[in-house]
Structure 1
């Protein structure tokens, strides 16, 4: 048997083993909820608003820093294992060529931060990894961005959190308005929720000015500062008082603020309450939630027992006096943040439908 024929046989065997490993990886991804696709280069570039490109020439690139692709990001797994839709003949030809004297031309990569995306050469990267190589020759084009991305940022969508954080800082200017704010989140999609909280706070404060007969309106910049000092910071102070971060490893005060805000709204809707004070919101949250498995189990059993005994008329962690006071404020007309947000949206919809209506001040950033 010629060496060329032997190379072909070995290449086919490597392909089939790699496809099997890809199937196992995808199955585990379904079980764990982890995305096993390559990163879509265009999604990254668009979110980063990355446009400037710098030709860097040819260099040896670590294969484990290639995390995505321009056009074939669903054909291979995150580690460039070929899925069954990848053409076997093409993959094995590339494998055989890699072992021949002829060799293969450099792949073409885009570089963003510390990571790379395949512009041309997905099969070559896949074959190189299947053969245990650690580096590959590549022609590199660097795409400039102000947001530094590392390899670790592509675990648990950290890259997306960095982008959303940059957008939040740009929209709120909070670094300039409150330099020591310390706001940091660990899950994607959360910074937009903070923006929404600020908008609702601005809406409520402007309603207060209306009721007082005043013509001035709270500017976006003033709303950001007011929200931080009167809404966010009091909750954070209560979080610190109850040492709540000890029960939530790897989370931040801003994470807990959003969870507590959601928890407060659920209590308000369920029990017919006005918004709880920061301390009451945190104390009731602390009674019900923890990320530590044992504490979570104990608290769940305790809540279940209270329900069985019919003693869940008042949220655990809240005194009867606090409960009655919040109920009285709600009966007197004080609305929750969720109700305020709904009224704001309905008001904006009405204004949009009625071109003859008098214009109201915009709740969006100037």
Structure 2
């Protein structure tokens, strides 16, 4: 919904800013009352995001119209605005109100500059313009876009805490370089599980090389683990109703760890499943 006008751009801009500040304060209060972590309502730092995901390269794709709600972070101005680009203090007021007045008078506002990572956008230049656009009820904005390619898919990132899981996933995929369908299938929700699974796959690969008397590279070990170990075991876990509400990778890791701890073996058979089921019941 677009902001109402009193007929005076200056007065309206002042009211716009005060309303945006009030909403930011109320949002922080609501978060505190709900007991939510502090990082839920802050803009995502671009450098931390691309470090967690693994930066591959970038290319300019030019002027685009992007949705405001796809803008989730900032290159270097995170402290001045919250996740919805509401001002966090009066420090930005003077410039903010000048832009709001210009917008209300219908003057041309230059495009902002952003990085695009997946479906997410991070402001390089134009933080005040984004904030004013939000305050005036707009849903889109013009932006000069630079596309950044990363090793790990950025989908699922909502706040800063999610970067920890993404970072561990990137490290796991460097240790276990799965490709295609296998890469998409092996997913964890807890960061520490990626580290444990990586160790498990490397141990499996070591035993494989001992059995075959041959040195295998990481890509070969990863693919053979997925096809010879992960897929058959996950199919068996589904048949035994041992996946539940976990991801398949989480179910695999849980049962594989329990298997060895209980029976001290790396084999898979009905006795293993029975022992694990008895332990989990």
- How far 1:143 moved relative to its partner? 3.0
Q: Cα gap change, 1:74/1:257 in structure 2, threshold over 3 Å: closer, same or farther?
A: farther
Q: 1:194 aligns with which of 189, 192, 197?
A: 197
Counterpart secondary structure, 1:185? coil
Equivalences for 1:320-331 in 2 at 5 Å?
none
C-alpha distance in 1, partners of 2:100/2:34? 27
Q: Counterpart in 2 of 1:242? A: 240
C-alpha distance in 1, partners of 2:18/2:258? 54
Asked if the contact 1:232/1:257 (under 8 Å) is kept, the reply is yes
Higher RCO, 1 vs 2 (CA within 8 Å, ≥6 residues apart): 2
TM-score (norm 2): 0.72
Deviation per CA, 1:258-302: give whole Å up to 9, x if none.
Answer: 23345567x66xxxx746964145304541xxxxxxxxxxxxxxx
Deviation per CA, 1:3-49: give whole Å up to 9, x if none.
Answer: 25423431342233232234135426743687322222223334342
Deviation per CA, 1:156-200: give whole Å up to 9, x if none.
Answer: 788887787676556545449xx7798331425344432211223
- How far 1:62 moved relative to its partner? 1.4
- How far 1:237 moved relative to its partner? 4.4
Deviation per CA, 1:122-180: give whole Å up to 9, x if none.
Answer: 1211221122111112222333457665xx6334788887787676556545449xx77
Deviation per CA, 1:89-147: give whole Å up to 9, x if none.
Answer: 34333333332344532211122333321110112112211221111122223334576
C-alpha distance in 2, partners of 1:197/1:167? 14
Q: Cα gap change, 1:199/1:74 in structure 2, threshold over 3 Å: closer, same or farther?
A: farther
Counterpart secondary structure, 2:78? coil
C-alpha distance in 2, partners of 1:101/1:193? 57
Larger Rg: 1
Counterpart secondary structure, 2:73? strand
- How far 1:256 moved relative to its partner? 1.2
Aligned-residue RMSD, C-alpha: 4.1
Q: 1:73 aligns with which of 71, 78, 93?
A: 78
Counterpart secondary structure, 2:113? strand
The number of residue pairs the alignment matches comes to 268
Counterpart secondary structure, 1:53? strand
> Is 1:138–2:135 an aligned residue pair?
no
Q: Which runs of 5+ in 2 are unaligned?
A: 1-5
Counterpart secondary structure, 2:142? strand
Equivalences for 1:221-300 in 2 at 5 Å?
221=218, 223-224=221-222, 227-228=225-226, 232=230, 235-245=233-243, 247-248=244-245, 251-261=246-256, 274=264, 278-280=272-274, 282-284=276-278, 286-287=280-281
Asked if the contact 1:260/1:282 (under 8 Å) is kept, the reply is yes
Asked if the contact 2:41/2:83 (under 8 Å) is kept, the reply is yes
Q: Which runs of 5+ in 1 are unaligned?
A: 288-366
Asked if the contact 2:70/2:119 (under 8 Å) is kept, the reply is yes
